[in-house]
């Protein structure tokens, strides 16, 4: 079996977990959480980081802290995981779906302006599969209209756009440490920002909005959330983060090998390399051309029979019951790419021989 993306624990994860168990600090008030936040923010190049139970909660907090309220509109791609859009809906705000680019599979900034209206409050770019959104254009438009930007960088840890880490370009950015990501904490997320107010409010709301300055114990000025990462999860994260550079190099050699063995192969389209992006593919994404002899479904079956796990791209959210009624622009590229996209195995532990086996199937050898 060649899995799509599985975790690898090879660093000091157990050492840090033992520190938690020995000290009794297992929940979110423990010291490893702050240590993980400090190391993560330094690594990524942000002023502040707030560790959360998962990325979905980080996105929810980020939108709350930039001021998204009921009935506001947030522009977001339809080609993403449901969590991105659910975070908008938790606030009673409305997602407005924008199309993606044919080459990056990410938000098409040139289709943003036509969707901006009176109720628009924010833009949520998603760096899909590790590829980067054209953030310079997005920020230009956001600044022109006074909008806030929350980057969903759940899948793009390590990727850089024009020298800047994804997640650090907008007003806030959110990462996922789910088991299948570049680094994992089991379950976990991180909100990063350079804005002190966003960071302190996110921390406050993530800890049940407990007023630490109030003389009486357990005094709450707002409805808060139990969104703070636990010390044990942070301990795993510390071990994983120490290993991040090696992991990035492995991810890059995985995509290099796919490019090497798949360039020129009929009926598939490889992701476009952009000189100004330093891309760390979380999963290696290809498109299987429409009308090809082996279409995506028959390739999936072939992979499955050979014990190789692949994953089709996301089904566009605007086609599913909870999101079908929301406003959107033309989503031609979204529907096209979603129909043809297939992610190839990309675990840190994958062997070169396994990548070559995957490529041989695509080359029909
Ligand atoms: C694009 C995107 N956004 C958000 C999330 C949510 O992350 P989590 O599972 O950590 O809540 C994911 C998870 O994979 C994701 O892929």
CA distances from 268 to 98, 103, 187, 337 (A): 25, 13, 34, 12
Q: Please, are residues 167 and 175 in contact by the beta-carbon 8 Å criterion?
A: yes
| Ligand 1 pocket, residue 56 CB under 6 Å | yes
CATH number at residue 100: 3.40.640.10
Q: Which of 55, 78, 124 to mutate to test the pocket of ligand 1 (most atoms within 8 A of CB)?
A: 55
Answer yes or no: is 349 within a domain: yes
Answer yes or no: is 7 within a domain: no
Residues 179, 228, single domain; the answer is: yes
CATH number at residue 308: 3.90.1150.10
Q: Please, are residues 85 and 321 in contact by the beta-carbon 8 Å criterion?
A: no
Q: Which of 78, 126, 131, 155 to mutate to test the pocket of ligand 1 (most atoms within 8 A of CB)?
A: 155
Q: Give me the pLDDT at residue 197, please.
A: 98
Residues 35, 167, single domain; the answer is: yes
| Ligand 1 pocket, residue 191 CB under 6 Å | no
Q: Give me the pLDDT at residue 334, please.
A: 98
Answer yes or no: is 33 within a domain: yes
Residues 174, 300, single domain; the answer is: no
Question: 147 C-alpha to center of ligand 1: Å?
Answer: 23
Q: Give me the pLDDT at residue 291, please.
A: 76
Residues 214, 156, single domain; the answer is: yes
Q: Give me the pLDDT at residue 36, please.
A: 98
Residues 268, 155, single domain; the answer is: no
Residue identifier of the C-alpha nearest atom 7 of ligand 1:
55
Q: Please, are residues 243 and 15 in contact by the beta-carbon 8 Å criterion?
A: no
Give the span between the Cα atoms of 139 and 23, in whole angstroms. 45
| Ligand 1 pocket, residue 287 CB under 6 Å | no
| Ligand 1 pocket, residue 84 CB under 6 Å | yes
| Ligand 1 pocket, residue 55 CB under 6 Å | yes
Answer yes or no: is 8 within a domain: no
What is the domain extent for residue 281? 244-362
Question: 56 C-alpha to center of ligand 1: Å?
Answer: 6
Number of domains forming the structure of the chain: 2
Residues 237, 285, single domain; the answer is: no
| Ligand 1 pocket, residue 80 CB under 6 Å | yes
- Out of 214, 241, 268, pick the residue that ends a domain: 241
- Out of 190, 206, 241, pick the residue that ends a domain: 241
Q: Which residues are part of the catalytic machinery?
A: 181
- Out of 187, 220, 241, pick the residue that ends a domain: 241
Question: 265 C-alpha to center of ligand 1: Å?
Answer: 32
Q: Give me the pLDDT at residue 351, please.
A: 98
Q: Which of 5, 51, 56, 227 to mutate to test the pocket of ligand 1 (most atoms within 8 A of CB)?
A: 56
Residues 102, 125, single domain; the answer is: yes
**Which ligand 1 atom sits nearest the alpha carbon of residue 57?**
11
Residues 163, 289, single domain; the answer is: no
Question: 154 C-alpha to center of ligand 1: Å?
Answer: 5
- Backbone torsions φ then ψ of 337, nearest 5 degrees: -70, -40
Q: Give me the pLDDT at residue 323, please.
A: 96
- pLDDT tens for each residue of the chain, 365 residues long: 999 999 999 899 999 999 999 999 999 999 999 999 999 999 999 999 999 999 999 999 999 999 999 999 999 999 999 999 999 999 999 999 999 999 999 999 999 999 999 999 999 999 999 999 999 999 999 999 999 999 999 999 999 999 999 999 999 999 999 999 999 999 999 999 999 999 999 999 999 999 988 887 899 999 999 999 999 999 999 999 999 999 999 999 999 999 999 999 999 999 999 999 999 999 999 999 977 778 999 999 999 999 999 999 999 999 999 999 999 999 999 999 999 999 999 999 999 999 999 999 999 98
Give the span between the Cα atoms of 341 and 84, in whole angstroms. 19
Give the span between the Cα atoms of 357 and 363, in whole angstroms. 10
| Ligand 1 pocket, residue 178 CB under 6 Å | yes
Q: Give me the pLDDT at residue 260, please.
A: 98
3-state secondary structure 306-344: CCECCEECCCCHHHCHHHCCCCECCCHHHHHHHHHEEEE
Answer yes or no: is 261 within a domain: yes
Long-range contacts at 302-307 (CB < 8 A, ≥ 24 apart): 302/361, 303/358, 303/361, 306/357, 306/361, 307/1, 307/2
- Backbone torsions φ then ψ of 286, nearest 5 degrees: -125, 160
Residues 36, 173, single domain; the answer is: yes
The terminus-to-terminus CA distance of the chain in angstroms comes to 19
Give the span between the Cα atoms of 325 and 94, in whole angstroms. 10
**Which ligand 1 atom sits nearest the alpha carbon of residue 178?**
10
Token pair for 170: 């907008």
Residue identifier of the C-alpha nearest atom 8 of ligand 1:
55
| Ligand 1 pocket, residue 343 CB under 6 Å | no
Q: Which of 54, 77, 81 to mutate to test the pocket of ligand 1 (most atoms within 8 A of CB)?
A: 81
Residues 276, 322, single domain; the answer is: yes
Answer yes or no: is 1 within a domain: no
Record the pTM.
0.98
Answer yes or no: is 115 within a domain: yes
Residues 213, 278, single domain; the answer is: no
Residues 288, 205, single domain; the answer is: no
| Ligand 1 pocket, residue 13 CB under 6 Å | no
Q: Give me the pLDDT at residue 294, please.
A: 82
Answer yes or no: is 3 within a domain: no
Closest by Cα among 310, 317, 314 to 294: 310
The region that residue 3 occupies, defined by phi over 0 for left and psi between -120 and 50 for alpha, beta otherwise, is: beta
């Amino acid at each position: 079996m060649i899995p799509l993306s599985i975790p690898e624990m090879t660093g000091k994860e157990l050492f840090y977990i033992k520190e938690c168990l020995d000290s009794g600090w297992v929940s979110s008030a423990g010291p490893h959480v702050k240590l993980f936040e400090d190391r993560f923010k330094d690594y990524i190049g942000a002023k502040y980081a707030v560790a959360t139970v998962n990325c979905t909660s980080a996105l929810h907090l980020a939108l709350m802290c930039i001021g998204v309220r009921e009935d506001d509109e947030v522009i977001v791609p339809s080609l993403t995981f449901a969590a991105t859009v659910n975070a908008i809906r938790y606030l009673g705000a409305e997602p407005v779906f924008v199309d993606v680019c044919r080459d990056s599979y990410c938000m098409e900034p040139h289709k943003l302006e036509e969707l901006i209206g009176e109720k628009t409050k924010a833009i949520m770019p998603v760096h899909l599969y590790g590829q980067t959104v054209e953030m310079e254009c997005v920020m230009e438009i956001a600044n022109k209209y006074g909008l806030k930007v929350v980057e969903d960088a759940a899948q793009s840890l390590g990727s850089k756009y024009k020298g800047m880490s994804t997640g650090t370009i907008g007003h806030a950015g959110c990462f996922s440490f789910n088991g299948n990501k570049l680094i994992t904490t089991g379950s976990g997320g991180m909100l990063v920002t350079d804005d002190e107010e966003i960071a302190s409010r996110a921390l406050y709301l993530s800890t049940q909005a407990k007023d630490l300055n109030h003389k009486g114990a357990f005094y709450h000025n707002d409805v808060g959330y139990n969104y703070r990462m636990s010390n044990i999860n942070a301990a795993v994260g510390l071990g994983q983060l120490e290993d991040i550079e090696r992991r990035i190099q492995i991810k890059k050699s995985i995509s290099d090998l796919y490019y090497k063995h798949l360039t020129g192969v009929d009926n598939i389209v490889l992701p476009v390399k952009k000189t100004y992006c330093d891309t760390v593919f979380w999963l290696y994404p290809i498109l299987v051309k429409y009308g090809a002899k082996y279409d995506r479904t028959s390739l999936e079956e072939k992979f499955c029979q050979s014990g190789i796990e692949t994953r089709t791209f996301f089904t566009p959210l605007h086609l599913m019951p909870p999101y079908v009624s929301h406003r959107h622009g033309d989503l031609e590229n979204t529907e096209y790419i979603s129909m043809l996209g297939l992610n190839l195995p990309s675990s840190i532990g994958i062997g070169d021989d396994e990548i070559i086996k995957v490529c041989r199937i695509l080359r029909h050898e």
